[in-house]
Amino acid sequence: MVLWLDKHRPMSLEKMQIHKEVSEQLMNITKSGDFPHLLIHGPSGAGKKTRIQALLREIYNNKIDKVKLENKDVSVGSDGSKTITVTALSSGYHLEITPSDSGYYDKYVVANMIKEVAETDSVDFLSTGSSASSHLKVIVLHEVDSLTREAQQALRRIMEKYSKSCRLILCANSTSKIIPPIRSRCMAVRIPAPSDEEISTVLQFVAKKENIKLVPEITQQICEKCDGNMRRALLMLESAKVEQYPFTKDQQVKLPGWEKFVEEIAKSIIADQTPQTLLKIRDDFFLLLTNCIAPDIIFKTLLLKLLDLLDGEQAHQVIELAAKFEHRMKCGSKPIFHLEAFVASVMSLCQSMFSF
């Protein structure tokens, strides 16, 4: 069974139903015969990865679909005595990788693995009928804004040294954490969050393809609850259809299970500031992390749920604590420590305020 999200994913830039001006801009870039390093940024669920895949297909046609999932060993450490395994998606024309998954060792992934790929040529290098852009090897790096500063410095040097043989497509949620030398060497393309009208249009398109009748009340609920995230909107539509169909006007579209779970954590923080509650919340965090919910997503969602339960000075102080521990979590290597420390600090704050 294929999720609707993947089943109805646009395969070309021309079929993109949102941000058509961005698609036209990218098509014009590829038609010129060459293209610069690209920095594609925007919020989660805006369609960055889908647009990158469509861009690669615009350059290499259907040849880009012949991909394989590889686990590569990368030497790390000053003496190279230790190795880590990095998962990459590759074809004869491109490589997709998320170096930040390697944590502190991301600089070695950039310096060694990406350098090795950049030194090779595309399989079309000797062909005479292909465009100039198809002679280039393309390296797609996801979550570039999560790279350490050392990894970004290594990436900058690679961009300069191998600009004749490869192009980098960097994908990030925000450019604020990317060093200026990288930003200045890329053409920045911002993919904004889709509007409610655009989300509604895509939902109607998918519903028509699946031969289901979508009532306006369901569409409105999804637009309100998806927070401008197209991926989330499509998953909520499919979930609502599985739960009850035909749709009714009074049917409620439920939030994802993990989000309800985080909401219960927030309520327990406000209701009971005891060591036993803290230990239970630690187990809840472990459960979320082992189910592949990203630590920064947990942190952001927990903060928003807490702010719904607090007001005034309390909310202001919780935001200050969140900024402090989110920064520590980015700098550290064990997110569970900083999530738990944030909860303990909020509990201490609530206890001191509610005692008066």
Tens digits of per-residue pLDDT, 172-220?
A: 988 888 889 999 888 888 999 888 888 899 888 888 888 888 888 888 8
DSSP secondary structure, 73-124, as one string = EEEESSS--EEEEEEEEE-SSEEEE-GGGGGGGHHHIIIIIIHHHHTS--TT
CA dihedral 267, 270, 276, 278 (to 10 degrees): 80
* pLDDT bracket for residue 67 (50, 70, 90): confident
Residue 250 maps to a domain: no
Q: Calculate the average pLDDT of the chain.
A: 83
Residue 252 maps to a domain: no
Tens digits of per-residue pLDDT, 102-120?
A: 777 888 888 887 777 776 6
pTM for this entry: 0.78
Residue among 70, 106, 100, 102 at smallest CA distance from 87: 70
Domain that holds residue 72: 4-190
Could you give phi then psi for residue 313, rounded to 5 degrees? -60, -35
Asked which of 13-22, 112-121, 226-235, 295-304 is least confident by mean pLDDT, the reply is: 112-121
Is the same domain home to 79 and 183? yes
Is the same domain home to 182 and 88? yes
Is the same domain home to 12 and 160? yes
Residue 134: predicted pLDDT: 53
Domains: count for the chain: 3
pLDDT at residue 150 is higher than 50: yes
How is residue 304 written in tokens? 């928003």
Residue 251 maps to a domain: no
Distance CA 114, CA 97 (A): 9
pLDDT at residue 130 is higher than 70: no
Residue 170: predicted pLDDT: 92
* pLDDT bracket for residue 129 (50, 70, 90): very low
Q: Which segments within the chain are labelled E, that is strand?
A: 38-41, 68-76, 82-90, 94-97, 137-141, 166-172, 187-190
